[in-house]
Amino acid sequence: MNAAIRSPQPPLTRSVEDYLKSVFHLTSQGGFATTSDIAGMLEVAPPSVSGMMKRLSETGLIEHVPYRGVQLTPQGRRAALQMIRRHRILESYLTGKLGYDWGDVHVEAERLEHAVSEKLIERMADALGEPRYDPHGAPIPTAALEIEEAELVTLAETAVGKGVMLQEVGDEHPARLRHRRPQRCRVQAGSRVVAERGVARVSFREHRRRSP
């Protein structure tokens, strides 16, 4: 039996890296990423997504299931986790060592993550003490590209009056993060919150994670 011939893997361009990250985020709670989901996340036209998905499928980075969407292959997952590690180490270094506001680091890390070397990222991680979480509470993949996975729900999905632990703070809206910076308010990863109608009441007794 002849083995299927697969095209050689192209260099991971910035565009490819961004697509792999988007598929990872969209499928992190299970399921498949659709063309429209990816297009919305990356703010590109659906036909552009379809073309890229065909290319990534041919190079073994994603698997396409008709009428359902795409998932990362083990090879694609490793490439995505490598980019996510870069991004979150950069965010942690910018806030922890350079004094950046947590509302500004996402965009800055997006610019840097495609250019930095793995050697530099590991130097940064070592200087930070191998952090487990980024400034927004998201888990940082290890150097071995393993990541803590948990099933999360949004505050909007939480029953009124129920106390929950705030695990992550979304970084999609920098202006909101700057308004809710940790120095000014206690809405941050590790805080205990209670859902109320239209608001989230935050406990003053915070639970901070400790890196090993």
- Please state the rounded mean pLDDT for residues 167-190: 52
CA distances to 51, 93, 105, 124 from 96, in Å: 39, 5, 11, 10
Reduce the secondary structure of 145-180 to three states and give it as a string: CCCCCCCCCCHHHCCCCCEEECCCCCCCCHHHHHHC
β-pair partners for 200: 195
Q: How many residues appear in the chain?
A: 212
CATH 1.10.10.10 domain position(s) in the chain = 14-72
pLDDT in tens, 69-119: 999 999 999 999 999 999 999 999 999 999 998 888 888 999 999 999 999
Averaged pLDDT score across all residues of the chain? 79
First-last CA distance in the chain: 50
- Give the model's confidence band at 8: pLDDT under 50 very low, under 70 low, under 90 confident, else very high: very low
Q: How far apart are CA 41 and CA 163, in angstroms?
A: 30
DSSP codes, 109-147: HHHHTTTS-HHHHHHHHHHHT--SB-TTSPBPPPTT---
**In CATH, 14-72 is 3.40.50.12170:** no
The four Cα atoms 128, 94, 172, 162 give a dihedral, to 10 degrees, of: 40
Average pLDDT over residues 45-62: 95
| Whole-structure pTM value | 0.75
Return the higher-pLDDT residue of 124 and 187.
124
pLDDT at residue number 41: 92
What are 196's strand-pairing partners? 199
Q: For residue 29, what pLDDT band results from cuts at 50, 70 and 90?
A: confident
pLDDT reported for residue 187: 43
Contact criterion met (CB below 8 Å) for 91 and 105: yes
